[in-house]
Amino acid sequence: MLQKKKRLASYIVATLIVTLLINVAVTWIFKSASQEIDYGTFLTMVQNKQIESVEIEDDRILITPKDTQNSSSSDKKIYYTGTLNDPQLVEKLHSAGVKFSTPVKNMQSPILTFILSWILPFAMFYFLGGFLMKSLGKKMGGGAMSFGKSNAKVYIEKKTGITFNDVAGQEEAKESLNEIVDFLHKPSKYTEIGAKLPKGALLVGPPGTGKTLLAKAVAGEANVPFFSLSGSDFVEMFVGVGASRVRDLFQQAEKNAPCIVFIDEIDAIGKSRDSKLGGNDEREQTLNQLLAEMDGFDSSKGVVILAATNRPEILDKALLRPGRFDRRVIVDKPDLKGREEILKVHGKNVKLDSRVNFGEIALATAGAVGADLANMVNEAALRAVRMGRDIVRQEDLFEAVETVIAGKEKKDRIMTEEEKSLVAFHEVGHALAAALQKQTQPVHKITIIPRTMGALGYTMQMPEKEKFLISKDELVEQIVVLLAGRAAEEIVFKKVTTGASNDIERATGIARQMVTIYGMSDKFGMMGLESIQNRYLDGRPVQTCSTETSAEIDKEVLQIINSCYEKSLSILKDNMEALCKISSHLLHKETIMGDEFMEILNSIPR
């Protein structure tokens, strides 16, 4: 694009320069061959019979003087002068024996005149216009000027260079996609037996889990071209553009078969058509075209369509029926083992200390997706460079985890001594509640160094192993841990602060889910009161009960919170010595690790 613009500019400049040069040259030649004289001189020359011939034009008189001895014929000068209203001129010239004439008007051939005055301007406009249209159309990316025959921004990568080895922790997804790879390798193996392969597979999962990566890996494994387009690329201002792009895409794909067509973020066009907020003509047409094309093409040729989305529930049902995207590949958040493998894949690209243990990092990053983990490894490498090292250590990785979870350390924040000690007691409150209950996760680290994302300090717990089921008792204990920060403030300082807002929000969230989703309250039993929407995005719950029930839910939640807070208070009151001792140690050291914490706690007799 830039190249073309540059070429256009240089073309224009060159044309201008050439025109200018021609102009200058013509004027110069004319000037040097002729000379202006005044009318009086002209008359004198006529009287002196120095003039050979005269040509009288509308606005000037061209004078050819007689040959003189001292001038060669080659540089014979021509003079000219303006015309005056001089009725006797003709008589004077005649009597002086000068040849005179005036150019005959309109003696040019009528065809030439016609060409010059009609065809030439027309042709010029035509070419200029065509040229402008072309360059304008290109500039607008095939927009306004060329919407009929869209030059869809189909993006082919001949070789993606990515294989299944680059995608870690998605074994099930890889397994389902392996069949597609095999099919692209040897379509005949399947067609001979009469098997039809799925025309398309839909990759579904939360953002950053590797859907785009997987699609590229399929192309890489199968060693076929990869047509990639984002759903939003189809949709433009003009109705019909999207549909023609879909047509275009499938045409190109069939020409290049076997190949993979990948439509990323397909929800942009595949949204259900029965939307209540009035239709969107363009999107619906695009979707219809896509449906038609998917029906129309012959899958035995080896075109496989992959699409990715994180909102499968809003997709049009027609898109999901067998014969279109009949296969759904779930690309979920990685589990412990998956996270460790992803870390290893990305760890290959950085220089690692031999003591680095990715297993530990994986334990500390429950809920993180592939993109987060890739980011953490990179953050760790950046930190190592900042520290002036040429190798990444375990501490860099841990620090990176914390940076991604809680933001960067903010050491320059000035806090009063009282605030600092309040934060210390608050955090040790959490830590003690965690350590003194049975089913909670062990404390990994306590710190009172503020972070950029708002935390003034925090207690990091780390599970010993990953769990998939959580019991009611464990949830209650989690709430107790969350509320113990505020409990410590109240017991020690006899006042409460805003520092517990995040704890309260999370504790309330857990308590509410216990009541509405997990069926863990006595009052409602197993009645489901909320359902989760957008499971792969924010997972926001939506109430499915009446307003009266809603008020009852609030009472129930309040009761859980209150009883948990009582428990937090009693745990801390029973362990005041540990609370004070560890807090003053923390205040002094600012960060203590889990084993240090347990050592002090165990040294106090209970």
Q: Which does 362 bind (CB under 5 to 8 A by kind): ligand ADP, Mg ion, Zn ion, none?
A: none
- Shortest distance in whole angstroms from residue 167 CB to ligand ADP: 5
Contact present, 392 and 356 (Cβ < 8 Å): yes
Q: Which does 485 bind (CB under 5 to 8 A by kind): Mg ion, ligand ADP, Zn ion, none?
A: Zn ion
Half-sphere exposure of 549 (CA within 13 A, CB side): 13
Looking at beta carbons, which residue is closest to Zn ion?
485
Q: Which residues pair with 264 in a beta bridge?
A: 230
Q: Which does 170 bind (CB under 5 to 8 A by kind): ligand ADP, Zn ion, Mg ion, none?
A: ligand ADP
Closer CB to ligand ADP, residue 42 or residue 262?
262
Q: How far is CA 333 from the centre of its chain?
A: 21
Closer CB to ligand ADP, residue 374 or residue 561?
374
- Shortest distance in whole angstroms from residue 537 CB to Mg ion: 13
- Shortest distance in whole angstroms from residue 207 CB to ligand ADP: 4
Q: Confirm or reject binding of residue 212 to Mg ion (CB under 5 A).
A: yes
- Shortest distance in whole angstroms from residue 482 CB to Zn ion: 7
The residue annotated as part of the active site, out of 236, 265, 402, 427, is 427
Give the residue, chosen from 142, 169, 429, 499, that forms a contact with ligand ADP under the rule CB under 6 A: 169
Beta carbons within 10 angstroms of residue 50's beta carbon: 14
Q: Confirm or reject binding of residue 374 to ligand ADP (CB under 6 A).
A: yes
503 is in an annotated binding site: yes
444 is in an annotated binding site: no
87 is in an annotated binding site: no
Q: Confirm or reject binding of residue 207 to ligand ADP (CB under 6 A).
A: yes
Residue count, binding to Mg ion (CB under 5 A): 1
- The length of the chain in residues reads 606
Helical axes 547-574 vs 417-435, angle rounded to 10°: 100
Q: Which residues contact 90 (CB under 8 A, 6 or more apart)?
A: 100
String of contacts with Zn ion for each residue 480-499, x by CB under 5 A? -----x--------------
CA angle 387-390-396, nearest 5°? 50
Q: Confirm or reject binding of residue 304 to ligand ADP (CB under 6 A).
A: no
- Compute the Cα dihedral for 406, 410, 415, 420 and give only its sign: positive
Q: Which of residues 497-536 bind Zn ion (CB under 5 A)?
A: 503
Nearest-angstrom CA–CA distance, 215 and 235: 22
- Stretch of 26-34, 211-219, 363-371, 485-493 contacting Mg ion, by CB under 5 A: 211-219
Residue found by looking up tokens 């208070």 in the block: 569
Dihedral angle, C-alpha 276, 278, 280, 281, nearest 10 °: 120
Nearest-angstrom CA–CA distance, 266 and 325: 11
Which is nearest to 603 in space by CA: 587, 590, 585, 591?
585
Strands (DSSP E) contained in 322-381 are 327-330
- The secondary structure of residue 442, as a DSSP letter, is P
Closer CB to ligand ADP, residue 378 or residue 502?
378
Closer CB to Zn ion, residue 287 or residue 422?
422
CA distance from start to end of the chain:
76
Q: Is 377 exposed, middle or buried (0-12, 13-18, 19+ CB in 10 A)?
A: buried
Pairing of strands 99-101, 51-56: parallel
Q: Which does 208 bind (CB under 5 to 8 A by kind): ligand ADP, Mg ion, Zn ion, none?
A: ligand ADP
Q: Is 205 exposed, middle or buried (0-12, 13-18, 19+ CB in 10 A)?
A: buried
211 is in an annotated binding site: yes
Q: Which of residues 529-568 bind Mg ion (CB under 5 A)?
A: none
Give the residue, chosen from 45, 167, 181, 500, that forms a contact with ligand ADP under the rule CB under 6 A: 167
Pairing of strands 60-65, 78-82: antiparallel
463 is in an annotated binding site: no
Closer CB to ligand ADP, residue 209 or residue 447?
209
Q: Confirm or reject binding of residue 345 to ligand ADP (CB under 6 A).
A: yes
- Stretch of 90-98, 183-191, 211-219, 358-366 contacting ligand ADP, by CB under 6 A: 211-219
Half-sphere exposure of 404 (CA within 13 A, CB side): 23
Residue count, binding to ligand ADP (CB under 6 A): 17
- Stretch of 120-128, 167-175, 413-421, 424-432 contacting ligand ADP, by CB under 6 A: 167-175
Active site residue 157: no
- Stretch of 7-15, 292-300, 336-344, 479-487 contacting Zn ion, by CB under 5 A: 479-487
Q: Confirm or reject binding of residue 421 to Mg ion (CB under 5 A).
A: no
Strands (DSSP E) contained in 57-112 are 60-65, 78-82, 99-101
- The secondary structure of residue 392, as a DSSP letter, is B
Nearest-angstrom CA–CA distance, 266 and 287: 10
- Stretch of 27-35, 370-378, 547-555, 583-591 contacting ligand ADP, by CB under 6 A: 370-378
Phi, psi dihedrals of residue 374, rounded to the nearest 5°: -60, -40
Q: Confirm or reject binding of residue 210 to ligand ADP (CB under 6 A).
A: yes
Q: Confirm or reject binding of residue 309 to Mg ion (CB under 5 A).
A: no
Nearest-angstrom CA–CA distance, 152 and 158: 17
Closer CB to ligand ADP, residue 38 or residue 171?
171
- Compute the Cα dihedral for 41, 46, 47, 49 and give only its sign: positive
Q: Which of residues 308-337 bind ligand ADP (CB under 6 A)?
A: 308
Closer CB to Zn ion, residue 265 or residue 402?
402
Q: Confirm or reject binding of residue 342 to ligand ADP (CB under 6 A).
A: yes
Q: Confirm or reject binding of residue 228 to ligand ADP (CB under 6 A).
A: no
- Stretch of 120-128, 291-299, 369-377, 472-480 contacting ligand ADP, by CB under 6 A: 369-377
Q: Confirm or reject binding of residue 399 to Zn ion (CB under 5 A).
A: no
208 is in an annotated binding site: yes
Q: Is 56 exposed, middle or buried (0-12, 13-18, 19+ CB in 10 A)?
A: middle
Amino acid occupying residue 226 = F
Nearest-angstrom CA–CA distance, 377 and 347: 7
Nearest-angstrom CA–CA distance, 281 and 243: 11
Active site amino acids: 427
Q: Which residues are annotated as a binding site?
A: 205-212, 426, 430, 503
Question: Which residues bind to Mg ion, rule: CB under 5 A?
Answer: 212
Question: Which residues bind to Zn ion, rule: CB under 5 A?
Answer: 485, 503
Q: Which residues are annotated as a binding site for Zn(2+)?
A: 426, 430, 503
Question: Which residues bind to ligand ADP, rule: CB under 6 A?
Answer: 167-170, 207-213, 308, 342, 345, 370-371, 374
Q: Which residues are annotated as a binding site for ATP?
A: 205-212
